[in-house]
A = this chain, B = another copy of it.
């Protein structure tokens, strides 16, 4: 790792200015931040007369189509490869093998960045990679067009739960204000990102709420979804991501648990906490890991087995944090 360097945005702008035919990689299962960052950067490079292309390991959900209306799509042999919002080369998904060791520049906001690129510009104080890309674009002397504003706003809004999560800072709001002033269609983006749910998702949520249970005097809430719940609702595993936020929203709950049957007899457990309780401590006890506010693990067995294992781990954790 001796040849890996952590750099600032000034240096990142210098590198990009000196390069052309740039390939931009996003992380697997792409979200609004990695896609918005890539689209904004691609549009900015176009304005500088540089050729660029975005590559992903997975199909991009159609709700993000508006990001790519005017991005460059021409194929070319890349002379320089960079990644946006990718904390670990493993997160490149199927592109890891192809590009491992070839990534010149990584721009990211995850404190957990594994420094897999030759040069890495990482700011964990930034709400999103898009917030960093906006600063970079300004350093490059690019005008923020409506397309760029839409892309940056998408990253800001999606990574902060529309300015609701704790990673939102004053600078995030200032960036959002600048994007609105530059013509971002925030009404359209907010509707698409936050106010649109599939009918099958609604059916899955209903089934989840049906089985919502409270434990430990209401401090732990659990939603469990079996393979049958997914089959009957027609919802996808991805639909479940939004459900993981529900249990911890119940008044008085410190620890919210969502259990989904990933394959027969294998439950994926997602833990979300409030008020500083440590989700990763609970998941580590079951062989998983994650962050303080959000962590995960997998448990084999029946729904009853898995639920018992999680509640045991949660109970033991709550014992350790007693005043």
Contacts and interface: CB of A to CB of B under 8 A. Distances in A.
Interface of A: 162-166, 168-174, 176-178, 180-181, 186-187, 190-191, 194-199, 202-203, 205-206, 209-210, 212, 214, 218, 245-246, 248-251, 274
Contact of A176 (B173, B250, B274): B173
A250 B250 CA distance: 23
A168 B196 contact: no
B199 A164 contact: no
Contacts of A164: 162, 190, 194-195
A206 B207 CA distance: 8
Nearest to A190: B164
Nearest to A245: B195
A300 B169 CA distance: 49
A288 to B, nearest CB: 23
Given A176-B173, A249-B196, A186 B168 contact: yes
Sorted nearest first, the 5 A-B pairs with minimum C-beta distance are A206-B209, A173-B177, A170-B180, A170-B177, A173-B173
What's the number of copies of this chain in the assembled complex? 2
Contacts of A163: 162-163, 176
B209 A205 contact: yes
A251 B173 contact: no
A181 to B, nearest CB: 5
Nearest to A203: B209
A171 B195 CA distance: 23
Contact of A187 (B166, B170, B198): B166
A202 B274 CA distance: 18
Nearest to A162: B164
Contacts of A199: 212, 214, 218, 250-251
A162 to B, nearest CB: 5
Contact of A206 (B195, B210, B249): B210
A249 B186 CA distance: 17
A214 B202 CA distance: 12
A197 B162 contact: no
Contacts of A210: 206
A177 B210 CA distance: 39
